[in-house]
Structure 1
Amino acid sequence: MGWRYPLSDIDFGKDEEREVLKVIRSKWLSTGPVTEKFENDFAEYLGGGYATAVSSGTAALHLATICLDLKEGDEVILPSLTFVATANSIVYTGAKPVFADIVGLDDLNISPQEIEKKITKRTKAILVMHFGGYPCDMEAIMSIARKHRLYVVEDAAHAPGAEYKGKKCGAIGDLGCFSFFSNKNLVTGEGGLVFTRNKNFAEKVRMMRSHGMKSLSWDKYRGRLSSYDIEQLGYNYRTTEIQSALGSVQLKKLGRNNMKRERLVRVYLKEFQRVEGIFLPFLKPKGSPSYHLFPLLLADHIDREKVMENLKMFGIQTSVHYPPVHLFSFYQKRFGYRVGMLPKTEEISRREITLPLHPLMSVKDVKWIAEKVKGVIYACMQA
């Protein structure tokens, strides 16, 4: 169906069209100079380091976990309240994902205290996800990592532009992973990026992105080499020049669009203050969010499915972020996870509902949506 108010929308315009057309006319579509420029610009945006553009956020996570030299029997601590790709990236390496609970109703990010409880002699890394673009408590997490000599990987898929104590999310840990999927704050359709300040990690990511080669087809095209060598087993996780052209324009818009998101969130918060049946998380965020999502928590006695169905009749798209990864069939069968292991995560997963939020919305749109949400919730409470 066509939504009157979709959960997300894309801010594409003439600048994106112009840059994509340049790529098409150049007749070079695979990873090349446009990608290199995007990588350099993104690295500079994050404060300096090494950025490698890849085919997806999932590819970024996979390459990041490969850098850690994980093996069977190793463990990585992560949240369950995330998209499954976060956990899958660990399983791909043969290591075990160890899920830690979130902070609570006020903060849907992974809890530093719960992380510390999960550390064993097999723990090799912590993989955090900045839920909805709201920064995790990175000071506490980095302190734990240093204490136990663990790597930290940031899943910053929701958090391009978010900051924690003056540092960009995705540039605080050892490796940062970004997604540029169509619903993200920075959109290239499909696409992702790995950021690090570790030169060895950066070189490994670049090789693994392209079959284990240090060179690219672009180098051959320019006559820089006539042959190539495979230095290790790699993958085809390359991005395209079209995606990078979109990314370069989107990066210039990111700050402005995140500010638009913030203004809309402030309107939502004002509309939902002291509304019976609604709880608002992240009222006191740690740092400056990127406002990727606007999550609400419904009271336990409210039928979430009924709320979502009724909002659908008004053309308002909603979603749930997220079904807990540890309760997916695969993870229960493979690792023995069960209901009750992460009580806070499981409670949030039952109660959370995500409302539309994107930079093409207006304040008027937000107020209209909020009125419909309040009306639907009130009706459900009376039923």
Structure 2
Amino acid sequence: MAGWSVPLADVTVDEADIAAVADVYRSGWLSMGPRTEELEGAFATYTGARHALAVANGTAALHLICLAAGLAVSDEVVVPSLTFVATVNAIAYTGATPVFADVAGLTEPWLSAAAAEAAITPRTKAVMTMAYGGHAGETAALRELCERRGLLLLEDAAHAAGSRLGGRHLGTFGRAGAFSLFSNKNLAVGEGGLLVTDDDDLAARARLLRSHGMTTLTWDRHRGHASGYDVVALGFNYRIDEPRAALATRRLARLDAENAARRELDARYRRAFGELGVTCALAPAGGLESSHHLFAIVLDEGADRDTFRAALAERGVQTSVHYPPVHGFSIYAGARAELPVTDAYAARAVTLPLFAHMTREQQDRVIDAVAAQGRGAPTAARR
């Protein structure tokens, strides 16, 4: 359906953003250079990480943290199936084996620490968690588990730009974290990614692999810091370009304000749906400052979700499903995972529109559309 009255996500690019990008084009330096360095410094400061590296997209960031952490063919990595497929693919790219573990509950769609521990074998090298919707979930418990069992904790923080637990930014609880700058994310530039780490060796390895395994970059040579280069590893072209780096830096400066607007919208949804008896996922938690990347409700068992979504679409309200479980895809069918909570959530969850500049009128349209469905059967789940 074209021309949604209330889209699932929306991005505004103001004239100052456009001017900043235009200035990059006028500068004549378009590949990775000073704007990328500025973004990396700003994001490291923002997250409190020692190192931040900007890359071409979130998948590249995930791949690099897996490679730089040393994942290899003989290893297993415990990972949720309820995630975008890139989380799992990044593990498989290294030759390591993804081992799926269940989520915590029907309204807690994040990796369960107990399920993760049950999935550990002698081959397990790491746990990859995912900050679903920007929620910390059981990140602290997973960190404790990995420390106790001598495992690496890696974080897919694609949803979590601006999410903090106890004042600590998600993505910095483990050995490394990966963020996405995709067009539907809170910190959106179209395509782009960032990885963060406090590990000097991991950062150096990721920096090397980001650009073909070359010992110096074009920007280094342009500034006269080097006159040649060696290639010492089988790397990739995962570089970001300067226009996107400039846009990301500008958007980062207003990320907290935009996340605060999302927080108010999230709270307003919860008040309205609480009165309607609609079950909401991702409840606020003590010490958590969430990015509120997603807002999801959970329908009654047996409800016809397709009919529910179609009814909202008729009213101009876009919805989505986050996510079809990865273990259900043909490429991972061999895993034969049994994940009853993941399967139940994935069958009943509906993601509703949420974006920073969403108006009250738009939100009311969503609430009214859900309420209209709640008067008939099948209905949104009742408490």
Q: What TM-score results when the alignment is normalised by the length of structure 1?
A: 0.96
1:280 aligned residue: 280
Which residue among 364, 367, 379 is the counterpart of 1:367? Answer: 364
The whole-number CA distance in structure 2 between the counterparts of 1:337 and 1:377 is 36
Question: Letter of the aligned partner of 1:374 in structure 2?
Answer: A
Once the two structures are TM-superposed, the CA of residue 66 in structure 1 deviates from its matched residue by 0.2
The whole-number CA distance in structure 2 between the counterparts of 1:215 and 1:352 is 47
The whole-number CA distance in structure 2 between the counterparts of 1:48 and 1:296 is 33
Q: Does 1:205 align with 2:221?
A: no
2:269 aligned residue: 268
2:173 aligned residue: 172
2:378 aligned residue: 381
For the 8 Å contact 1:267–1:363, the answer to whether it is kept is no
Which residue among 342, 361, 365 is the counterpart of 2:339? Answer: 342
- Change in Cα spacing, 1:48 to 1:69, as seen in structure 2 (3 Å) is closer
**Which range moves more in the overlay, 348-357 or 45-54?**
45-54
1:147 aligned residue: 148
Which residue among 336, 346, 357 is the counterpart of 2:354? Answer: 357
Query: Where do residues 1-383 of structure 1 align in structure 2 (5 Å cutoff)?
Result: 1-276=2-277, 278-285=278-285, 287-332=288-333, 335-338=334-337, 341-381=338-378
Question: Letter of the aligned partner of 2:372 in structure 1?
Answer: G
**Which range moves more in the overlay, 132-141 or 28-37?**
132-141
**Which range moves more in the overlay, 105-114 or 77-86?**
105-114
Percent of pairs identical after alignment? 41
For the 8 Å contact 2:59–2:90, the answer to whether it is kept is yes
Instruction: Give per-residue Cα distances to partners, 1:74-108, cap 9 Å, x unaligned.
Output: 10001111000000001001110011101102311
Question: Letter of the aligned partner of 1:352 in structure 2?
Answer: A
For the 8 Å contact 1:71–1:95, the answer to whether it is kept is yes
The whole-number CA distance in structure 2 between the counterparts of 1:365 and 1:103 is 32
Once the two structures are TM-superposed, the CA of residue 380 in structure 1 deviates from its matched residue by 4.1
Once the two structures are TM-superposed, the CA of residue 294 in structure 1 deviates from its matched residue by 0.3
CA RMSD of aligned residues (A): 1.3
Once the two structures are TM-superposed, the CA of residue 379 in structure 1 deviates from its matched residue by 3.3
For the 8 Å contact 1:268–1:367, the answer to whether it is kept is no
Q: What TM-score results when the alignment is normalised by the length of structure 2?
A: 0.96
Once the two structures are TM-superposed, the CA of residue 213 in structure 1 deviates from its matched residue by 1.2
Q: Count residues in correspondence.
A: 377
SS at match of 1:272: helix
For the 8 Å contact 1:267–1:367, the answer to whether it is kept is no
After the TM superposition, list the runs of 4 or more consecutive aligned residues in structure 1 that deviate by more than 2 angstroms. Answer: 220-226, 282-286, 376-382
Structure 2 unmatched ranges of 5 or more = none
- Change in Cα spacing, 1:222 to 1:297, as seen in structure 2 (3 Å) is same
SS at match of 2:77: strand
Question: Letter of the aligned partner of 2:161 in structure 1?
Answer: P
Once the two structures are TM-superposed, the CA of residue 221 in structure 1 deviates from its matched residue by 2.2
**Which range moves more in the overlay, 352-361 or 365-374?**
365-374
SS at match of 2:32: coil
Question: Letter of the aligned partner of 1:194 in structure 2?
Answer: L
The whole-number CA distance in structure 2 between the counterparts of 1:379 and 1:21 is 52
Once the two structures are TM-superposed, the CA of residue 149 in structure 1 deviates from its matched residue by 0.8
Once the two structures are TM-superposed, the CA of residue 284 in structure 1 deviates from its matched residue by 3.8
